[in-house]
Structure 1
Amino acid sequence: MRRWISFTLWILLLLNLPVGAWAIEDAHTFMDGTAAYQKGNWPAAIDAFQRLADGGIDNGLLFYNLGNAYLKNDDVGHAILWYERALKRIPGNPDLHFNYNYALTLTRDEPGEKESPLLRILFFWKYQLSAASVRWAALLLNAALWTALAVLAVRKKRLLRPGTLLTAAAALIFTATAVFNYIEAAHMHDAIILPEEVAVRSGFTDTATQLFVLHAGTRVRVERESGDYRLICYTADKIGWVKKADAGII
């Protein structure tokens, strides 16, 4: 597997940290995690990186290295969860994709609801760019479009140039994608099964009827939550309840 520790993470973490005592403490935590990782002490590395993530540091490379540490510790469920979270932030990282695809080979269940390869081709920008990149692209394209329209208005030109039409189309596409990403993040949640094996049941108790079994690393759609349980959908005909602790939201 490739580049288990990214040294550029050190710089990126510093850029994301506030100035002051908290920054120094978090920097020491990261150094402790890195040292533990290099010594092969995976639980200590996980503990240090997890504390940074739980403390509010939202960094794709941190999530990537946390996934690496979990995978080294033979925890496929948590490894894939953190790889998935990293993919939302740094979708173009080739090493992340390599390690993520390797982790997927260690899962036991077939993929559930699959996304159409045709959709990935037709809407490639959604899958190749992070949500933040899509938002910035939408903002810049809209700014360019309205600037072009303002110039045409000042010059009293009624015909739109091909470049302006292309900008308008791109602005529309990226704006629509940004809106969809927002709705998806707010209302549509996927999760990863974390324990080695989980019984999906018809109700909220351990005595409820077992409907089927899922294993670590399987991706599911969260339909709704109730108390300490989540209603998950694996496929159209396989829906049931699991404990929240057993299905980590991506």
Structure 2
Amino acid sequence: MLKFLIHIVFITLLSLTGGNMHAQVPDSLFVEANRSYQQENYTEALGLYQKIEKLDLQSADLYFNMGNIYYKTNQVAPAIYYYEKALKLAPNDKDIQFNLNFANRMILDNIEPLPKSLWQKSMDGVILRFTYETWAKIAVSLAFLFAILFLMYHFSYSTSKKRIYFITSILSVIFVTTCLFFAYRNKHYVDNNVEAIIFSPSAQVKTAPTSSSDVYFELHEGTKVVILETLDNWKKIKIADGKLGWINTTALKEI
């Protein structure tokens, strides 16, 4: 976990200092794409968005706009795919959540999810509320606050002020530790819960990773699954109701 903490603090500081230089590269493309989008020239807009995507720069706005284009052109799977990608970067964005809910209504599969445990609810409600990068940035900010409070405590001559600075500095340390723990758990969850969207109009989920095995159930485009294992051209998946099975890699796309 120590290596993770060092890594996350380094990445956070790097993003705070160098992010603007990265963002300037595709700006003109993004403005041009948005103009085409507003003019309802979706084919041209999508092509420009895809050029930005090929630069390996992640953006919730980019993915959201691409999802909107696919939704408006009735392409269920890619619409949900890009909404999900946008939501990973901006988990509290109401517009993304709203459009994703609408897109999910186009899915043919009606899967009843399993009830969530108390831990899962806390993960969804607190730890996954922000990305791990955001939790790390909060932790770094609180660490700076602790440093300031500690210096004020050290150089203060008033007993009452010393008491206040001491208590608040201890609280800031607790909050820093909590945020780092949330960042670690968030990163661990994301790394160990690889999600994917079914892209085939209809995909057979089998009982074993072979073409000759029995068909367990079928899924349709747009349905989200969790990938548990990969074997040759097969992936073991889990759906929201807990069912497990094997599906060909060509039938889905990892988020």
Q: Does the TM-score normalized on the shorter chain lie above 0.5? A: yes
Relative to structure 1, the CA distance from residue 137 to residue 29 in structure 2 (aligned partners, 3 Å threshold; closer, same or farther) is closer
- Which of these residues, 192, 197, 208, is aligned with residue 192 of structure 1? 197
**Contact 1:30-1:48 at 8 Å conserved across structures:** no
Deviation per CA, 1:181-226, whole angstroms, max 9, x where unpaired?
2222333212222223211113344433211111222222110222
- Which of these residues, 17, 23, 45, is aligned with residue 16 of structure 1? 23
Deviation per CA, 1:152-196, whole angstroms, max 9, x where unpaired?
467799978442343223212211011112222333212222223
**Contact 2:69-2:79 at 8 Å conserved across structures:** yes
SS state of the match for residue 170, structure 1?
Answer: helix
Alignment-derived partner of residue 52 in structure 1: 52
Alignment-derived partner of residue 171 in structure 1: 176
* Counterpart amino acid of residue 53 in structure 1: E
Relative to structure 1, the CA distance from residue 119 to residue 70 in structure 2 (aligned partners, 3 Å threshold; closer, same or farther) is same
* Counterpart amino acid of residue 145 in structure 2: A
* Counterpart amino acid of residue 131 in structure 2: S
* Counterpart amino acid of residue 79 in structure 1: A
- Distance in 2, Cα, partners of 1:249 & 1:207: 25
**Contact 2:111-2:241 at 8 Å conserved across structures:** no
1:138 and 2:139 aligned: yes
- Distance in 1, Cα, partners of 2:52 & 2:187: 25
CA-based RMSD: 3.4
Q: How far did residue 242 of structure 1 move?
A: 1.7
1:38-49 equivalences under 5 Å are 38=38, 40-49=40-49
**Structure 2 unaligned residues grouped into runs of 5+:** 1-18
Alignment-derived partner of residue 8 in structure 1: none
- Distance in 1, Cα, partners of 2:95 & 2:232: 38
Higher helix share goes to which structure? 2
**Structure 1 unaligned residues grouped into runs of 5+:** 1-11
**Contact 1:229-1:242 at 8 Å conserved across structures:** yes
Which piece of structure 1 moves more, 75-84 or 107-116? Answer: 107-116
* Counterpart amino acid of residue 16 in structure 1: A
* Counterpart amino acid of residue 231 in structure 1: K
TM-score, normalised by the number of residues in structure 2:
0.74
1:107 and 2:107 aligned: yes
TM-score, normalised by the number of residues in structure 1:
0.75
- Distance in 2, Cα, partners of 1:201 & 1:49: 36
- Distance in 2, Cα, partners of 1:237 & 1:118: 17
Q: How far did residue 140 of structure 1 move?
A: 1.5
SS state of the match for residue 239, structure 2?
Answer: strand
Which piece of structure 1 moves more, 240-249 or 176-185? Answer: 240-249
Alignment-derived partner of residue 69 in structure 1: 69
Deviation per CA, 1:48-105, whole angstroms, max 9, x where unpaired?
3233213312111000001111111212221111111111222332222221111122
Percent identity between the aligned chains?
21
- Distance in 1, Cα, partners of 2:112 & 2:140: 35
Q: How many residues align?
A: 232
- Distance in 2, Cα, partners of 1:147 & 1:218: 49
Relative to structure 1, the CA distance from residue 150 to residue 228 in structure 2 (aligned partners, 3 Å threshold; closer, same or farther) is farther
Q: How far did residue 149 of structure 1 move?
A: 4.3
Alignment-derived partner of residue 28 in structure 2: 27
**Contact 1:199-1:210 at 8 Å conserved across structures:** yes
- Distance in 2, Cα, partners of 1:123 & 1:173: 16
Which piece of structure 1 moves more, 197-206 or 168-177? Answer: 197-206
- Distance in 2, Cα, partners of 1:243 & 1:213: 12
- Distance in 1, Cα, partners of 2:104 & 2:118: 18
- Which of these residues, 211, 220, 224, is aligned with residue 215 of structure 1? 220
1:230 and 2:224 aligned: no
- Distance in 2, Cα, partners of 1:188 & 1:31: 36
